[in-house]
Amino acid sequence: MTVRSWNRPSPLSVFAKSGFTGGGWATVLRDAIKIFNDLMATNGVKVALAEAKEEAGAHIIVDAVAKQASFSYGGASYSKPFSGDGLHGLTVPVAEQDTGLIDRSFVFVPATPRIDAANKKSREVGQDARRFILVHEFIHAAGLSNDEHTLEDVFCFPGEFVQGNSAGADKIQPWGGLGKPMPPCTIIAKTVSNLQKAWP
């Protein structure tokens, strides 16, 4: 995998499925879109996101799921086990066979991201940690693969959870303290350059 472009111009429309209608994710989508758009505009990347009212015409479909990441596209089905209690998302781009350009992206985030994924009784993380997860996945949806992960910014892997005194104070930082706890979300020159390759 490497940087890939889309088969359509910016803006890309984002539709949130039922997992975003209640619970801790309900207010995160709009914030994450704004954070993503601000990062792109500030760094001269020619892509933006906009909310879609209907799934049918949307370019990016997001959902918060508990056990399975599943979707159908072009008569084929995709499904893989997914932890609804973890702090990682999953983005699956679908590309045109003849051009290799992305036609649609499916983004999954954990329905109940917890401070301890192995303990169902542990509390869920706060809004800032969720925004970090979703902004990270939006960068994948924009055309970057795992190969472009960094060690210093919101597109880092692995990320390290920084537990606050309350959910509202939770943050995520690049592992080992190589970057500052976020928010505010940041992107480094490497991420900017790769996004500019996808959106020249």
Residue-by-residue DSSP string for 42-92: HTT----EEE-S-STT-SEEEEEESSEEEEEETTEEEEEE--TTSS--EEE
3-state helix, strand, coil in the chain (%, to 5): 30, 30, 45
Rounded average pLDDT over 160-183: 94
Length of the chain: 200
Residue range 54-65, pLDDT digits in tens: 999 999 999 999
**Tokens 């959910």 — which residue?**
167
Residue range 128-141, pLDDT digits in tens: 999 999 999 999 99
Domains of the chain: 12-198 (3.40.390.10)
Residue range 95-125, pLDDT digits in tens: 999 999 999 999 999 999 999 999 999 999 9
Q: Is 100 helix (H, G, I), strand (E, B) or coil?
A: coil
